[in-house]
Amino acid sequence: MKKGRCVGASAIPCLKAQNPYGLIQDPDLQGQSALPTLAPGMMELSVNSDGWYFHNYAILTLRSPESQIKDSKIEYYQLDSSKNGPSILMGYEVIP
């Protein structure tokens, strides 16, 4: 695959105390040479006042030969769903 992104999170609420960003000892890499990393410039999710990570989602805009869109783009957002908070843009990538 020449272009690809792993987009998925927030299916299971996670507490900061669970340390989801911590290193996993002896992970099963399923044939991969290394663990994936956060894209340059991306941040970890924020934590709400109850200790839960914000939910997040991504919007992917795809280029096609017939469109006027020059490059594909993926935008990453987070929100504090427990407080019905607004969507906050965390970052984006342009995918030529």
Nearest by Cα to 61 from 2, 5, 1: 5
CB 33 within 8 A of CB 58: no
Q: Is the pTM of this model over 0.85?
A: no
CB 76 within 8 A of CB 88: no
Q: Please, what is the average pLDDT of the chain?
A: 81
The pLDDT tens digits for 31-77 are 888 877 766 666 788 999 999 989 888 888 888 778 777 888 889 89
3-state secondary structure the chain: CCCCCCCCCCCCCCEHHHCCCCCCCCCCCCCCCCCCCCCCCCCCCCECCCCEECEEEEEEECCCCCCCCCCEEEEEEEECHHHCCCCEEEEEEEEC
